[in-house]
Amino acid sequence: MLRKQYHFRKVNGELYAWDIHRLIRLSKQIPPTLVRLDDIPELDQNWWYEDQTISPTPRALAAHMALVQQADLSFPILLCADGRLMDGMHRLVKAVLEQRDFIPAIKFPITPEADYVNIPADDLPYPDEEG
């Protein structure tokens, strides 16, 4: 089962958050296409550590690498209408490690409305993963 997670993006100085589970549901009717990894700019940006609250320590990197190892490349990544990544960085990293040139992707024709605006990540609902 997919852990609860959100995609965050600053838009005009405001923090937008999308529920990944909702994005996946919305993407079900859109056929995936193959996208070149070289066309995904987020692969060359500070993705996981841009908020400065978490440092890229070896332990933090190892936690991400564990998720990369578990990533299933049969599930397409999700891109907004502008082609920016909304979900799938661990799959992208796995594809890079496997020296792939392409990855399945679903690109929204219209970017879905954010689920939350200006709500800190720690204040968003994360269901108890044990119960």
> What six digits make up the tokens of 38?
């070289």
List Cβ neighbours of 18 (8 Å cut-off, separation of 6 or more). 6, 7, 86, 112, 114, 115
Domain ranges for the chain: 6-118
Residue with tokens 């908020």: 51
What does each C-alpha distance from 24 to 6, 66, 74, 75, 101 come to in angstroms?
Answer: 11, 22, 14, 10, 23
Instruction: Record the pTM.
Output: 0.84
pLDDT by residue for the chain (131 residues), tens only, comes to 567 788 898 889 999 999 999 999 999 999 999 999 999 999 988 766 666 666 778 888 898 899 899 999 999 999 999 999 999 999 999 999 999 999 999 999 999 999 999 998 888 888 765 44
- Coil, strand, or helix at residue 3? coil
Fold (CATH) for 6-118? 3.90.1530
